[in-house]
Amino acid sequence: MALPLLKYGPTSQNQRVVGYEVGGDEQPRVFTTENLLSASAMDGLIWAAYRQIFSEHQLLKANRQKILESQLRYGQITVRDFIRGLVVSETFRRYNYEFNNNYRFVELVVQRVLGRDVYSEQEKIAWSIVLGTKGLKGFVDALVNSAEYIENFGDNTVPYQRRRILPQREQGETPFNLKTPRYGAYYRQKLGFPQLGAGLPIKRIPDRGRNGGDPADYRDLARLVIYSVKMPPASVTIPDDFLAAVPRR
């Protein structure tokens, strides 16, 4: 018997506040099949779905789900089904699920599927229980079939980070792909990276005892410079009858 989803109290995050700002370049672009007019527009929608679900280094031709793409292009599945298929794909499982514990994986998927941060640790625990009892497919089904997903994205819209840019702030919230990278701290330590310059000696700037740019610091270097005497350019004398040296043809 599967355990029911635990209750958790939502907090007042940005995406829960009604926005009154005028749309602009800084606002997220909405990709939906409701207003597609060309095949190139469908290509853009599919690419936006890949960017939303996968990280940048996972966007490879070998990782494309061509069967799902074909079904979406011919109207056999909806955008919601396409998102569901991307998250339960073997590529997403290999690159994300197998390198994270359940709590971090729940946080990552909630960000990319529901377009928001998790509300609290209680929500992480609640969805982790669903993941542990129903598996990856059951967990993803519960997310894309939730009232929150349907209310915000429906069947035809690609999920996006809701209200990342706020007009009263100088800088918006960090994008989810930068805030929550693929590897957690445990696996970064286990795999031994990052190791930028590991094992190399540390270079230190010698202390000259003066402020930087003091000419006295370069006096000895200047004494080693060998000045070369500039010779005047050689003069060339052109004879008056130089045309006589040109052979006749």
Q: Report the percentage of the chain scoring pLDDT > 90.
A: 30
pLDDT at residue number 56: 65
pLDDT at residue number 161: 84
Query: What's the chain's average pLDDT?
Result: 77
> What is the mean predicted confidence (pLDDT) over 186-210?
56
The answer on pLDDT for 203 being more than 70 is no
pLDDT at residue number 168: 57
Largest CA-CA distance found in the chain, in angstroms, rounded: 113
Length of the chain: 249
pLDDT at residue number 206: 54
The answer on pLDDT for 197 being more than 60 is no
Classify residue 232 as exposed, middle or buried by CB count within 10 Å of its CB (0-12, 13-18, 19+).
exposed
Summarised one tens digit per residue, pLDDT across range 2-20 is 566 777 666 666 666 666 5
CATH assignment of 37-186, given 1.10.3130.20, 1.10.1470.10, 3.40.190.10, 3.40.50.620?
1.10.3130.20
Domain range list for the chain: 37-186
Cα three-residue angle 45-184-134, rounded to 5 degrees: 70
pLDDT at residue number 117: 87
Summarised one tens digit per residue, pLDDT across range 35-92 is 877 888 899 999 999 988 887 666 667 778 999 999 999 999 999 999 999 999 998 8
- pTM: predicted TM-score of the whole model, two decimal places: 0.65
Q: Which two tokens stand for residue 226?
A: 């060998």
The answer on pLDDT for 196 being more than 70 is no
